[in-house]
Structure 1
Amino acid sequence: MRKIVTLKKNYEFSRVFNKGTFYVGRHITVYVLPNKFSSNRIGISVSKKAGKAVVRNKKKRLIRESYRHYEEFIKNGFDIVIAARGDQTVPKYGALLKEFKYLLKKLQVFDQEKYDCLKEL
């Protein structure tokens, strides 16, 4: 398993929020902005409105795992920020995966051909 490159600084998140394109789903919002690197960088944002620390960390773990699931099918060269919505409930993993894939397709960063090729095997 390889390490995920993350966004850490506030200005990196702000740049993606202000200049990037985004789509809103039921559980998450995905922001995407092209970067100058040949790899993707990911940032996860969960506000305090989402619940106490245990709930926020659970949401972060689910979001991180859904990114890992589709990481090889996402086109390279993007900064991606995934923001959890403010409801107090924790979504099911399957629902989150389905929504994340849908939002990536809407943002045109999901490589459907690569996904279909590996799905047939």
Structure 2
Amino acid sequence: MKNTVPIKRNSEFLRLYKKGKFYAGKNIVLYVMKNGLDIKRLGITVGKKFGKSVKRNRIKRLIRENYRHYEEFVKNGYDLVFVARTNEQMPDFTDIRKEMKFLLKKLDVFEQEKWYCLKDG
């Protein structure tokens, strides 16, 4: 991820949970808040109820890889936190991809014009 800085401090996560906008999907929840900087910041969290460490790390890798595909279409100046929701079955790559695009559009962080320009050209 070239233009994205990770969110690592617990206080930054808590600030997003309290003050940020959020929208919940079937597999992931996205919290968004303006950060006043000219960079994107990303955090990914998975609770222990999701499963053992293998399963938690797998879902984090899926979220990170899908975000990498949409990174250039996400507006600068936002903090994003993806939270994996517990589910009976593990979501696959395409499920997360569709849901991530839907959530980014819903919270008005996705630059639709860039997306259409690349699709046409």
TM-score (structure 1 length as normaliser): 0.96
Q: 2:3·2:39 contact (CA, 8 Å) conserved in 1?
A: no
RMSD: 1.1
Report the 3-state secondary structure (helix = DSSP H, G, I; strand = E; otherwise coil) of the residue aligned with 2:61.
helix
Aligned to 2:91: 91
Bigger strand share: 2
Unaligned 5+ runs, structure 2: none
Aligned to 1:55: 55
Aligned length: 121
Aligned to 1:66: 66
2:66 maps to 1:45: no
Question: Displacement, 1:88?
Answer: 4.5
Matches within 5 A, 1:1-121: 2=2, 4-121=4-121
The amino acid of 2:31's aligned partner reads Y
User: Where do 4+ consecutive residues of structure 1 move more than 4 Å?
Assistant: none
What does the per-residue CA deviation read over 1:24-65, in whole Å, with 9 as the maximum and x for residues that have no partner? 000000000000210100000000011100000000000001
Q: 1:7·1:41 contact (CA, 8 Å) conserved in 2?
A: yes
Q: 1:49·1:88 contact (CA, 8 Å) conserved in 2?
A: no
d(CA) in 2 for partners of 1:41, 1:84 = 17
Question: Displacement, 1:3?
Answer: 6.2
Question: Displacement, 1:119?
Answer: 1.1
Question: Displacement, 1:4?
Answer: 3.5
Unaligned 5+ runs, structure 1: none
The amino acid of 2:66's aligned partner reads S
d(CA) in 2 for partners of 1:73, 1:119 = 12
d(CA) in 2 for partners of 1:103, 1:73 = 13
Aligned residues with identical type, % of pairs: 53
